[in-house]
Amino acid sequence: MDYHSREIVNKIKVMIHKVAKDINGTVKIMDFCGTHEHSIVYNGIRSLMPSNVDLVAGPGCPVCITPAHYVDAMIKLALDGVRVYTYGDTYLLPGSELPGSDKPRTLADAKALGADVVVVYSLLEAIKHYRRDPKESVFLAVGFETTAPSTASAVVNRLLPDGFTLINVHRLTPPIMRYTFEKHRDNPIRGVIAPGHVSTIVGAREWEFVPKEYGIPTVVAGFEAYDIMQAILYILLMLRSGKPRLVNQYKRAVTWEGNKKAQKLIRECCEVVDSSWRGLGFVPESGLSFRDKYKWADAIYQYGLRELSENEWKYDLPPGCRCAEVTLGLAKPTDCPLFMKVCKPGVPYGPCMVSSEGACSIWARFGSGGLVEELVESLGLE
């Protein structure tokens, strides 16, 4: 943070402390985006909060919740001689094999065994790579509403070359938000920082149900420290006045309606289906599946692989890993006994330690309590 931002953050901090005093009980505020969680930890925002404000990370990392089943499918394809393209974030994502197994656990392990695994930044980059060096290929398409338009555009606009198919693991944010609220029923979430980049696609209006149906103040926020601080202050002011609403703090990028062209592409390409989330099971209407007319792009269908069904779903986290609770904000990464012992960045044991947006990985890389407090102090923020 530069000096100017620090000054703004400090001013908002004072206001947050003043307003929080007028509110009874603990105020649990949840963020739903890995980039928000990153900014909160990186900028030491938790240590700026009054004692009755608890910032909790919710499901904001699509890599963390990608079912082991699909990682296993990618590994199988890779070992069968198909080239697989993956984002860097999913390269080290474990499937259902455990560490120490003689079978590959990740796509990185498959590559070490000689499989053709290519890490790319985007689907477009994978397509370009394919055109230079064509070979039967599958791309692992993960991500929330922010990423789904890249898949939809490539399929609908026929950017995919012949012999290039996808495994579609796209998931949707509003259904998992509802699911998370239910899991917190005993100790309810009292404020929501809605995901900024997901909102560029779906529009701020997508979160209207949160204050309306659940009575929870909600702010669509940007990613700078002062954006998040402002969002927290708005939430506290709404709680104090007893008038929960939806506020769009990130108007510079997010409109009420969202990106209609991207929404149309997603609707054209995919239908909404009940889908599995790693460690959690099936969540109603929470995922995207290719429509019948686009099944030619679906690797699961083309290679005769099995789709995961609700009856067959099995708990898919490694023993002892608490990612399901971490994902839902019911546990902190530091509550996991394996955190920074067995499970570390570089040698992740569970999925939340893999992606740069996984809560465990963020807490591991940027500290989570003492370290951040020290940093904040040295920056003169306290």
Contacts with ligand SF4 by CB under 6 A lie at 321-323, 326, 333, 336, 338-339, 343, 349-350, 352-353, 360
How far apart are the C-alpha atoms of 325 and 332, rounded to whole Å?
8
81 secondary structure, DSSP code: T
Return the SS3 of 295: helix
Residue nearest to ligand SF4 (CB): 350
**Angle, alpha carbons 209-210-214 (nearest 5°):** 105
Contacts with other proteins in 27-56 (CB under 8 A)?
Answer: 33-35
Number of residues that bind other proteins (CB under 8 A): 57
Return the structure tokens found at 177.
Answer: 């938000």
Element (H, E) at 283: strand 281-290
Least Å distance, CB 120 to other proteins, is 9
Q: In the stretch 224-263, what mask flags binding to other proteins with x, by CB under 8 A? A: --x---x--x------xxx--------xxxx----xxxx-
Q: Which is nearer to ligand SF4, 210 or 362 (CB)?
A: 362
Kindly tell me the burial class for residue 267, based on how many C-beta atoms sit within 10 Å of its own C-beta (0-12, 13-18, 19 or more).
middle
- Which partner in other proteins, ligand SF4, none is near 94 (CB below 5 to 8 A by kind)? none
Q: Which is nearer to other proteins, 217 or 305 (CB)?
A: 217
Q: Which residues 6+ apart lie within 8 Å of 261 measured at CB? A: none
Q: Which residues 6+ apart lie within 8 Å of 102 measured at CB? A: none
Task: State which amino acid sits at residue 334.
Answer: T
- Which partner in ligand SF4, other proteins, none is near 321 (CB below 5 to 8 A by kind)? ligand SF4
179 in Cβ contact with 283 (< 8 Å) = yes
**Residues binding other proteins (CB under 8 A):** 8, 11-12, 15, 18, 22, 33-35, 60-63, 87, 89, 121-125, 128, 142-144, 146-147, 149-150, 152-154, 157, 159, 195-198, 200-201, 226, 230, 233, 240-242, 251-254, 259-262, 265, 355-357
